[in-house]
Chains A and B, each alone.
Chain A
């Protein structure tokens, strides 16, 4: 008798234990998924936030060495200033930081603390302040990427000298400059304004942000009307026949086609058959529109379906035609849902990379594009391009680009949620 009871208790305990274990597995799985969200974000943010700051070094530039009277600058046109030979002058201004240095090698090392465009930066300063240049001006010059990384603590100083990109003497110079208070750390505005560059300290995301904006604009202009019209047709007017079924099957299939196939479509048809210009946001936008259309159509149809029939019937009852009932009464009610779907589709398009690689939006573009017909990159493509570069500065810049991309995506999704909350009617 007691044996049996014991058996029962044992088996019950076993079952309860396995119940507990199962529950722990479930919680474990969910925590695993949640943890990766956290790890991903922490990883990106911790390596990317420093790209929003940059190191600049204060240099006194004696303009009197360039010209006898500095007021003469105000009479010069920008072209004249461009024609001024300033290279050795600019170098001398930098040597002025350490007047005791004699050796050529050391001088070269000193120059390498700065980005290679130091001459250009002094020239730009001269151009924008030409009317009131003093005999000596203090200019903040961009530090080279290596110095920038050392200043941010991203680069190990205790490696062997020959394994380091920055040499001992440069570190000596740099530490001395820090002690003299000439090194400062400022918000990296050029990073947000400039195009791509071969030098990490000069590379910016401005070009790819504009490229992304143009692309998204093309997607919006094309896919929003087409998507909504198609949804209205399929949901409100389409007769039940084979053509309609075929269209519906096509839309559902397209939603599942891998994005890279759309890239092949863009390459084969839009570039090679229609001959539209390669690498442009226009072509990128067309390809991405075709990709986002199913999302928009499916979302709009769902929101049209959610409009109660009484609205349609009410309009029809007071003598509206079918078209009037749909356009004046049903569509306005369904609009918040359609907008939400469109924004989510646009967010998808914004983050898409693979099709853009195939239509050539991976070009190295220094200039910020002016129209959708200029060659350009986009934010995700910029991430891909920079992640291929080995230099430390690009890792930080890539993470920062991802932060901007995620920022845009979060904003868009937030807008979608807000629109849904504010305008959605519950019936």
Chain B
């Protein structure tokens, strides 16, 4: 339905553009007076009146329709007063299914039949009503705006004003997204903390949310809850894996950046730089697959060859592959920073007889340090927020460990484990994922903020 209706509205819009344009031209020739704007602006003016209010009304109707339909269909049941909110919504889904021809009920047929009939009736009526309202509104406004065109109307100003408002609204989407993120995370997190004390979450040593599932939701013991949602093992696991990743990517990334900016000939640079940046463009699920199927068995075999016990989901494998993934983040950013150190510093150092290495280590790196540290922090925030590699290659069970050969789990892994598939809302288990998400959001935001501040505050200006 929506698609046809929107096409119709757009068709009306295009037609009314030509109508408006034509009317403006006629007006100009018949009155022998100049209009305030070029004639096509009148076309746009009419077309805007035709399309914009109609689309807004359509949006409103579609978002509120289902609520009213549900109220209407269930009115008999609501009048009985013996149903709770959730029972009612369940009932509505069942009625919907019955209307589609799936038989679900054995008893209660009069009421149900009535409701099904009501649903069929209201669905058809509401569809017709939507068509009439939207198209009627559009048509009326086209007529109104066509008659509104006269020599004094400056349609250009109106159209430009509209565009400006549209652009501004689009730029507000960023704010709305942030607000949406914060709202959705905070809402569930606060509900979570009303059941589990925040201190237990932040400092508890035991993470086993599946335990909450075992008991009936009604008789949850608060001590039980506290014991199930201690997030320290997750923080530790996240830290461990990010540390391993940084151990791989910092030396490799930094040395690569130094080679690119100081040693490599332009030809090598032109080839090698894009190839290394491919690493940043590969989807993370590919790294996850690679880590789980190739690197993890390899690490295990090597470890067993050396007589160590290695878990098949070792933190080392996940961290190592994650390290490879973030090499280009460090190398590109550091490369830029090192290159932007002024040439005079290099020449000064060479003039004193320093070798290239001495120049790099003692002059260039200290000068570029804020930028390099900034790139490290950004890489850490990447590593902490990375999901697929750890979901596929790291462990799923929380265990407090500092051994890189052991299985460790991370914040992101647990979010996915909890929320994948069907979730029941209103359970502390589901809400705990949002609390983890909020933690992640705050930490990555803080890291980025610090990184920016470091770069801004400590960068020396050479002018």
Note all chain B residues with C-beta closer than 8 A to A350: 283
Q: Is the CB of A256 within 8 A of B378?
A: yes
| B381 located at the interface, meaning its Cβ lies under 8 Å from any Cβ of chain A in the complex | yes
Note all chain B residues with C-beta closer than 8 A to A251: 174
Of B123-131, B308-316, B401-409, B433-441, which stretch is located at the interface? B433-441
- From B292, B357, B384, give the contact of A22 (CB < 8 A): B357
Task: Give Cα A362–Cα B421 distance, bound, in whole angstroms.
Answer: 7
The residue of chain A having its C-beta at the shortest distance from the C-beta of B433 within the complex is: A264
Given known pairs A37-B275, A250-B178, A261-B441, the reply for A230 and B170 (CB within 8 Å) is yes
Q: Is the CB of A33 within 8 A of B285?
A: no
- From B289, B294, B327, B444, give the contact of A258 (CB < 8 A): B444
Q: Is the CB of A387 within 8 A of B292?
A: yes
Q: Is the CB of B324 within 8 A of A362?
A: no
Task: Give Cα A275–Cα B64 distance, bound, in whole angstroms.
Answer: 11
| B372 located at the interface, meaning its Cβ lies under 8 Å from any Cβ of chain A in the complex | no
Tell me the residues in window 254-299 of chain A with beta carbons closer than 8 Å to chain B beta carbons. 254, 256-265, 267-269, 272-275, 290, 293-294, 297
The residue of chain B having its C-beta at the shortest distance from the C-beta of A384 within the complex is: B285
- From A37, A254, A357, give the contact of B276 (CB < 8 A): A37
Of A12-20, A55-63, A170-178, which stretch is located at the interface? A12-20
| A84 located at the interface, meaning its Cβ lies under 8 Å from any Cβ of chain B in the complex | no
Tell me the residues in window 1-59 of chain A with beta carbons closer than 8 Å to chain B beta carbons. 15-16, 18-19, 22-23, 25-30, 32-34, 36-37, 40, 43-44
Tell me the residues in window 416-442 of chain B with beta carbons closer than 8 Å to chain A beta carbons. 416, 419-421, 425, 433-434, 437, 440-441
Tell me the residues in window 71-119 of chain A with beta carbons closer than 8 Å to chain B beta carbons. none
Complex interface bits, B172-204 against A, C-beta within 8 A gives 1, otherwise 0: 111101101101110110000000000000000
Q: Is the CB of A265 within 8 A of B324?
A: no
Say whether chain B's binding surface is mostly helix, strand, loop, or mixed.
helix
The residue of chain A having its C-beta at the shortest distance from the C-beta of B286 within the complex is: A402
Q: Is the CB of B279 within 8 A of A33?
A: yes
Q: Is the CB of B289 within 8 A of A383?
A: yes
Q: Is the CB of B256 within 8 A of A30?
A: yes
**Interface size of A as a range:** 35 or more
| A187 located at the interface, meaning its Cβ lies under 8 Å from any Cβ of chain B in the complex | no
Given known pairs A44-B290, A229-B170, A257-B181, the reply for A353 and B252 (CB within 8 Å) is no
Given known pairs A33-B279, A34-B272, A293-B173, the reply for A264 and B378 (CB within 8 Å) is no
Min CB distance B340 to A, Å, is 17
Task: Give Cα A229–Cα B174 distance, bound, in whole angstroms.
Answer: 12
Q: Is the CB of A265 within 8 A of B256?
A: no
Q: Is the CB of A15 within 8 A of B358?
A: yes
Q: Is the CB of B283 within 8 A of A254?
A: no
Q: Is the CB of A250 within 8 A of B174?
A: yes
Q: Is the CB of B286 within 8 A of A15?
A: no
Task: Give Cα A182–Cα B378 distance, bound, in whole angstroms.
Answer: 59
Note all chain B residues with C-beta closer than 8 A to A29: 251-256, 259
Min CB distance B324 to A, Å, is 5
Task: Give Cα A43–Cα B324 distance, bound, in whole angstroms.
Answer: 15
Min CB distance A252 to B, Å, is 8
Note all chain A residues with C-beta closer than 8 A to B180: 265, 269
| A143 located at the interface, meaning its Cβ lies under 8 Å from any Cβ of chain B in the complex | no
Q: Is the CB of A257 within 8 A of B444?
A: yes
| B260 located at the interface, meaning its Cβ lies under 8 Å from any Cβ of chain A in the complex | yes
Note all chain A residues with C-beta closer than 8 A to B384: 258
Q: Is the CB of B290 within 8 A of A265?
A: no
Q: Is the CB of A247 within 8 A of B172?
A: yes
Q: Is the CB of A258 within 8 A of B448?
A: no
Q: Is the CB of B440 within 8 A of A253?
A: no
Note all chain B residues with C-beta closer than 8 A to A15: 355, 358
Of B74-82, B111-119, B134-142, B385-393, which stretch is located at the interface? B385-393
| B258 located at the interface, meaning its Cβ lies under 8 Å from any Cβ of chain A in the complex | yes
| B8 located at the interface, meaning its Cβ lies under 8 Å from any Cβ of chain A in the complex | no
Q: Is the CB of A258 within 8 A of B440?
A: yes
| A351 located at the interface, meaning its Cβ lies under 8 Å from any Cβ of chain B in the complex | yes
| B52 located at the interface, meaning its Cβ lies under 8 Å from any Cβ of chain A in the complex | no
| A246 located at the interface, meaning its Cβ lies under 8 Å from any Cβ of chain B in the complex | yes
| A192 located at the interface, meaning its Cβ lies under 8 Å from any Cβ of chain B in the complex | no
Note all chain A residues with C-beta closer than 8 A to B252: 29, 32-33
Q: Is the CB of A233 within 8 A of B357?
A: no
User: Considering residues B173, B174, B279, B441, which has the most beta carbons from chain A within 10 angstroms of its beta carbon?
Assistant: B174
Task: Please report the number of residue pairs spanning A and B whose Cβ atoms sit closer than 8 angstroms.
Answer: 246
Complex interface bits, B351-388 against A, C-beta within 8 A gives 1, otherwise 0: 00001111011000000000000000010010011111
Q: Is the CB of A405 within 8 A of B283?
A: yes
Tell me the residues in window 64-96 of chain B with beta carbons closer than 8 Å to chain A beta carbons. 66
| B16 located at the interface, meaning its Cβ lies under 8 Å from any Cβ of chain A in the complex | no
Task: Give Cα A261–Cα B440 distance, bound, in whole angstroms.
Answer: 8
Note all chain B residues with C-beta closer than 8 A to A229: 166-167, 170-171
Q: Is the CB of B327 within 8 A of A354?
A: no
Note all chain A residues with C-beta closer than 8 A to B381: 256, 258
Given known pairs A260-B412, A387-B392, the reply for A323 and B163 (CB within 8 Å) is yes
Q: Is the CB of B448 within 8 A of A253?
A: yes
Q: Is the CB of A290 within 8 A of B177?
A: yes
Task: Give Cα A154–Cα B13 distance, bound, in whole angstroms.
Answer: 60
The residue of chain A having its C-beta at the shortest distance from the C-beta of B67 within the complex is: A275
| B11 located at the interface, meaning its Cβ lies under 8 Å from any Cβ of chain A in the complex | no
Min CB distance A261 to B, Å, is 5
The residue of chain A having its C-beta at the shortest distance from the C-beta of B327 within the complex is: A33
Q: Is the CB of B283 within 8 A of A380?
A: yes
| A125 located at the interface, meaning its Cβ lies under 8 Å from any Cβ of chain B in the complex | no
Given known pairs A18-B357, A256-B448, A258-B386, the reply for A353 and B259 (CB within 8 Å) is no
Min CB distance B326 to A, Å, is 11
Task: Give Cα A44–Cα B286 distance, bound, in whole angstroms.
Answer: 9
Given known pairs A22-B357, A362-B420, the reply for A260 and B167 (CB within 8 Å) is no
Q: Is the CB of B385 within 8 A of A259?
A: yes
Complex interface bits, B147-165 against A, C-beta within 8 A gives 1, otherwise 0: 0000000001000100110
Task: Give Cα A268–Cα B434 distance, bound, in whole angstroms.
Answer: 9
Q: Is the CB of B289 within 8 A of A409?
A: no
| A226 located at the interface, meaning its Cβ lies under 8 Å from any Cβ of chain B in the complex | yes
| B322 located at the interface, meaning its Cβ lies under 8 Å from any Cβ of chain A in the complex | no
The residue of chain A having its C-beta at the shortest distance from the C-beta of B325 within the complex is: A36
Q: Is the CB of A351 within 8 A of B283?
A: yes
Q: Is the CB of A30 within 8 A of B440?
A: no
Q: Is the CB of B281 within 8 A of A413?
A: yes
| A184 located at the interface, meaning its Cβ lies under 8 Å from any Cβ of chain B in the complex | no
Min CB distance A28 to B, Å, is 8
Starting from the known contacts A257-B444, A321-B160, 16 additional A-B residue pairs (CB-CB under 8 Å) come to A18-B357, A23-B356, A26-B263, A30-B256, A30-B260, A36-B279, A37-B275, A233-B168, A260-B387, A351-B283, A353-B283, A357-B419, A383-B289, A384-B388, A387-B392, A402-B286
Which 4 residue pairs spanning A and B have beta carbons closest together?
Answer: A258-B385, A351-B283, A268-B184, A29-B255
A-B contacts, 10 listed (Cβ < 8 Å): A23-B263, A37-B279, A225-B170, A229-B170, A247-B175, A254-B177, A257-B181, A257-B385, A262-B181, A354-B391
